[in-house]
Amino acid sequence: MQDTPTPTPLPVADLARLFSAPDPPPFALVRRHPHDGSAGDPFDVYIGTMHTVRRVTDLPSGPPRPGGGPHALAVLPYRCLAERGLDCRDDGTPVRVLRIRRWHTADTAALTAALAAVRPGGDLRWEEAGFDDTDEEYAGRVRDLLAHEVAHTGLHVLIRRDFTARLPCHGAAAVGELFGRLSAAEHGAHWTFAVHTGGPRGAALAGASPQGHVGVERGRVVMHPMCGTLRLPPGGLPAAEDLAAFLRDRKETEELGAVVDAELAMLCRVTTGDVRLEGPGLRPLARVLHTECRISGTAALDVRHTLAGTLFAATAVGRPFAEACSVIARRGPSGRGYYGGSIALLGHDASGGEQVDTAVLIRTFELSGRGTVKLSVGATVGPRSVPADEAAETRAKASALLSVFESTAATAPGDTAAGRRRADPGPGDPVPHDAPAGRDTPAAAQGDGASGGRTRGHRRTGPRSTAPVDPAAWPSVSAELDRRRALLSAHWRGRSRPAAGRLPAARCCSSTRGARRRRRSPSCCADSAAPSRCGPPSTWPTRPGCALGTPWRPTPGPAQLTSRSPRSGSVPGTR
């Protein structure tokens, strides 16, 4: 196989041959960052050889390409947390690495033409589909967790549930078609991707992840803590007053603050200083909307050790981080596989410096070579959680991805999976076309209804759009974003804060040779006139001396984290 060091357009015929080959090579289709959904939207096609490694630090470091570019795509399972000494179930899920030998580009029009040549019917059908537990059972798990783990500790932890199905027609073409449908369904995703391990019965991952985790570029480490979920109403975006109410929600404010806290602790492990905190901003997707921040600092390690030191996003685990890992290991129904892990693209920039870009492995299908499909989704359970709302949130997160099957979905009349239990759909929850009653299938756009505090009543909607929301058009939303920034700023500076909407205690510590070393927070200031930040973080405006971008300059010796929360004390956030 001849190496292709720079990207070249991939003809439709070659893309069709890749999908139709009886023994296809390992490949990946990757569209990074939000796009507009047009036929000319480009994506990358990586073709190479698939390998496995034992540890994240064993990932390859290839020589720089002329002009820069990627040399490897790695898929890191959740069990890699053991490398940090954290509790997790070792389910044997491999750390896979695609060594990139050929690098091409294609667009949506080429993908559509190639798939039409290979699969004229566009057939993507599922059978025996549904959640592996009922909404009532999931809510019961949440209720038990609240009573025995969360009530006395203030813990936040993400509890997952699995949607499983069988794809009679699977293989490289099905993976390509799934990638195309996910791209059309989620324009706002941080990454849309599909990775096939090669061969006639190769496994695959295909997803539309809303969140980047850690990146290294031009000597800086960047992370994207994201938390807080608003279920969008049918047919469009929420009313301005609904979005403002969501931003005022104390539970959502505390969740985002705790995630920022945990990921700043990770960032301090792999940086030398000049730490910046920006946000929060909004990340709108097809069926839900999230709040997110952007944090960054000067890189202290190479990209492999940076990846190893930041396993994994607190959004997909919980906080305090170590305690959440222990709860997941004890109470999870099984090993997590790739759910909550990362997909990482490693390479070099034009000057030869190392760089990496990642996405969190959430909203991702795992496809086996036997045709089984699993989609794991979860909700963050905290002190203010309502069990029924958390169950509804998992359905909302799953619904956008599962809608890619709706036009051709067909479910077998009988459930042959041994021991599998399916729930009856809730009131107003439509099932996929041709699916018989009794399957626990996520609702379509209207399926999450008005139940749950985070649906906000949906008083007014517009046409559906996955383009970034512009809060500047909604003064109440802009004001709430400014208020949230002021809370974060006051929290990290250790200043006194308003009583309403108070953030949780800042508790990030790390352990070095058994001694706990406490870290100081970045110094940020708030400016009520700061421009609203919305959409992808790369589009957030910057201003000289802007509120949430003031650099932190560490003092010699162990730095101290200041917190004036009424709940004093330090609880390990990382190990």
Residue 575 lies in a domain: no
pLDDT at position 39: 54
Check if the beta carbon of residue 382 is closer than 8 Å to that of residue 155: yes
The C-alpha atoms of residue 190 and residue 209 are separated, in whole angstroms, by 6
Higher local confidence (pLDDT), 51 or 417: 51
pLDDT at position 5: 60
Residue 555 lies in a domain: no
Higher local confidence (pLDDT), 268 or 421: 268
Give the pLDDT mean for 406-419: 37
Residue 2 lies in a domain: no
Cα distances (angstroms) measured from residue 536 to each of 154, 172, 356, 466, 495: 30, 31, 18, 12, 29
pLDDT at position 372: 92
The C-alpha atoms of residue 355 and residue 457 are separated, in whole angstroms, by 44
pLDDT at position 571: 24
Crossing angle of helices 250-270 and 240-248, in 10° steps, is 60
Q: Which residues have CB under 8 Å from 25's CB, separation 6+? A: 1, 18, 47, 48, 49, 198
Residue 566 lies in a domain: no
pLDDT above 80 (res 42): yes
pLDDT at position 38: 59
Higher local confidence (pLDDT), 530 or 484: 484
CATH assignment of the domain containing 119: 3.60.120.10
Crossing angle of helices 321-331 and 135-145, in 10° steps, is 130
Residue 571 lies in a domain: no
pLDDT above 60 (res 467): no
Residue 153 lies in a domain: yes
pLDDT above 80 (res 419): no
pLDDT at position 154: 79
pLDDT above 50 (res 517): no
Identify the band that residue 405 occupies on the pLDDT scale cut at 50, 70 and 90: confident
How many residues does the structure list for the chain?
575
Higher local confidence (pLDDT), 459 or 279: 279
pLDDT at position 122: 59
Among 63-72, 152-161, 175-184, 280-289, the least confident range: 280-289
pLDDT at position 60: 92
pLDDT at position 464: 39
Higher local confidence (pLDDT), 7 or 15: 15
**Into how many domains does the chain fold?**
1
Mean pLDDT of the chain: 74
pLDDT above 90 (res 471): no
pLDDT at position 476: 86
- pTM of the entire predicted model: 0.76
Residue 200 lies in a domain: yes
Residue 47 lies in a domain: yes
pLDDT above 60 (res 344): yes
Tokens 């492995």 locate to 361
Q: What is the phi/psi pair of residue 262, to 5°? A: -65, -40
pLDDT at position 473: 61
Give the pLDDT mean for 158-180: 91
Higher local confidence (pLDDT), 546 or 379: 379
- In the chain, helix, strand, coil percent, each to 5? 30, 25, 45
Q: Range of 537's domain?
A: 8-406+423-549
End-to-end CA distance of the chain: 43
Q: What percent of the chain has pLDDT over 90?
A: 41
Q: What is the phi/psi pair of residue 328, to 5°? A: -60, -40
pLDDT at position 445: 30
pLDDT above 70 (res 365): yes
Q: What percent of the chain has pLDDT over 70?
A: 70
pLDDT at position 556: 28
Question: Alpha helices, DSSP H only, in 339-440?
Answer: 387-402
pLDDT above 50 (res 502): no
pLDDT above 90 (res 534): no
Give the pLDDT mean for 412-430: 34
pLDDT at position 359: 96
